[in-house]
Amino acid sequence: MKILWSVFVASLIALPCFAEERTLEDVIDDVNAAVLSVTVNTNSGEQALGAGFVIDAEGYAVTNSHVVEDAKDIMVSTIYGDDYEADLVGADKVTDVALIKIKQPKGLEAVHFADSDNVRVGNTVFAIGNPYGLGNSVSTGIISAKERDIEKGPYDNFLQTDASINRGNSGGPLFNMNGEVVGMNTAIFSMQGDNMGLGFATPANMVQWVVERLKTDGEVIRGWLGISVRPVRAKDDNAVMQLAITKIEENSPALAGGLKVGDIIERMDNISLKNPRLFSAEVAAIKPQTKLKAVVRRDGEILPFELTMAQMPQDKNKKTDPEGIFHPQSVEDLGLSQEQLAKAVEFTDLQIKAYYDEKAQEFIITEIAPDAELAIKGFEIGNRIIAADNRKIFGEEDLRIKLKESYDKGQIELKIKSGASNLDVVTLKLEATK
C-alpha cells in the first residue's frame, strides 16, 4: 500500500478583522478574488498545477516552492478569469515557501493575515485552492491539531486541518472565519493521493517571516549556532523537558562560545526548549551577529555563556535537514557484523552495552538506556569510549577494573568520541553495587 505526501502553501500580513456576525458566504466573497490558480511549465517540459494568493497590491503572491520548481514560465489566474504572467522572486525549499511577482497587475485584491500563534484547536477554518486544476474551490473544517511534525523538514510546525485538501491545493490559503489567512496549505497524508481528512498548513507567521526575507534578499538567511540537541527530562521535575547538546560543529559560534557536548541547556534567551524542532526553528530565525545569553548545566554546575550568532552556511541552509535536531543511530548503522554485535557486553554501572574494537582499542556503544547518565548528557549509539580516567582501555576486564577502582571517589572520567573529530570528557557518578 502506497503512502503519498502532497505539498502546498499560504501567506501573511496582519490587518484588522472583518465585521462581526458575517455569513460564511459573505466572507468567501471578500477573499476569493485574492486566491490564485497557478500553472507552471517546467524546463523539463512538464506542467505543474497549484494555488497561491496575493499578499499586496504591488502584485506579490505566495505559493509552494515545489509548485514553481524548475519553472520555465509561471501563469496565474484569478476567479474572474484574469490571467497574468509572474516571475519567481525567490524560493525556500526548507519551508517549501516561494514568492512570485505578478507582471503588470491591475486592481488585484490582497489577503489579510492573522497571528497564527493565536490559532486554537477547534477553530473553524476554510481552504480555497485549485484541486485537480478545477479552479477556486472552497472546503470547510476545523483546526485538528497544532505543532505537527510530519518529517517534511527541520522546521515542521504545521497546523493540521480536516478541511478537504487535494492535489492542486498546494500553495492555497487556509482562512479563519474572519477571512484572515492563518496558514498556507502545504501537505496531505493519503494512501492514494486523495483527501483523507489529514491536511497540513504552514502557519501564517512562518510564511510571513520567509516572505519578508525573500522579498528583501531573494533568499532566506538564517542564524546558526552549530549544535544538535536532544530532549531530556529535568531531574528535579519529570514534567519539564530540557535539551542536551549532542553535537557541536567545527568553527561554530557554540564552540567559540565555550559550549560542550553533554551540556544541558537550561535557558537561551527566549528560545523555546519545548522540543528540538521548535528550538532549531527559533534559532534559525535569529539574525546573524545577534548576541545570545545562555545558561547550561554541566556536571552539576550552572554556567552562563554569551554566544554570537553566525550566518548559516549555504550548504546547510539549502538542505531539508540543515542542523539542530538529534537523530539517534540504529545498531544497523554501525557497520558491525552479527558476530561482533553478539560480543557486546553489558556495563550495568554505565547502563550501556558496548563492543570492544581491539584494533582501535575503543568500546563502541551498541545499546544505551534512555535514563542513563550518558544518554542524559547527550551520548548515543555509535559513540566510542576511548579512555577512562585518562588511561587507555584494554578490553572488557580492564574497563571493569577501572570502574571498580573509581567507586571510592564516586565518579569516573570517560573520554568519548562522538563524531569524526568530536572528543569529549565526561564525568559520571558511580555507586558501588551491593
Cell matching residue 30: 471578500
- What is the pLDDT, as a whole number, of residue 125? 96
Check residue 95 and give its pLDDT.
Answer: 92
Burial of 363 (0-12, 13-18, 19+ CB in 10 A): buried
Please name the residue that has the C-alpha cell 577502582: 405
> One fold for both 223-317 and 331-429?
yes
Q: Residue 141: its pLDDT value, please? A: 94
- Only one residue has cell 567545527, namely 250
359-391, pLDDT tens digit by residue?
Answer: 889 999 999 887 788 887 778 888 899 999 889
More confident residue, 396 or 1: 396
- Give one DSSP letter per residue of 48-107, joined into a string: EEEEEEE-STT-EEEEETTTSTTEEEEEEE-TT--EEEEEEEEEETTTTEEEEEESS--S
Of residues 278 and 309, more confidence is placed in 309
Considering 66, 164, 228, 406, which one is annotated as catalytic? 66
Contact 364, 345 (CB under 8 A): no
Fold classification of 223-317 (topology level): Pdz3 Domain (2.30.42)
pLDDT value for 425: 78
- Return the C-alpha cell found at 339: 558476530
In the chain, where the domains are located: 4-217, 223-317, 331-429
Per-residue confidence band for 78, with pLDDT thresholds at 50, 70 and 90: very high
Average pLDDT over residues 302-318: 85
Mean pLDDT on 256-278: 89
CATH number of 331-429: 2.30.42.10
**What is the model's pLDDT at position 378?**
72
pLDDT band at 406 (very low <50, low <70, confident <90, very high): confident
Dist. CA 314–CA 279, nearest whole Å:
20
* pLDDT category of residue 273 using cuts at 50, 70 and 90: confident
Active site residue 327: no
Q: How buried is 378 (Cβ within 10 angstroms: 0-12 exposed, 13-18 middle, 19+ buried)? A: buried
CA 415 to chain centre: 31
Catalytic residue among 6, 11, 37, 96: 96
Query: Across the chain, what does the average pLDDT equal?
Result: 84
Segment 167-226, tens digit of pLDDT: 788 899 999 999 999 999 998 876 555 566 688 999 999 999 999 999 998 889 999 999
The pLDDT tens digits for 313-360 are: 876 665 544 444 444 445 555 677 888 888 999 998 899 999 999 888
Name every residue whose Cβ is closer than 8 Å to that of residue 284 and which is 6 or more positions away in sequence.
155, 222, 223, 224, 312, 322, 324
Burial class (CB in 10 A: 0-12, 13-18, 19+), 43: exposed
The reported pLDDT for the residue numbered 304 is: 95
| Percentage of residues of the chain with pLDDT beyond 70 | 84
Which of 65, 170, 406, 418 is catalytic? The answer is: 170
- 4-217 CATH pick, 3.40.50.12500, 3.40.718.10, 3.40.50.620, 2.40.10.120: 2.40.10.120
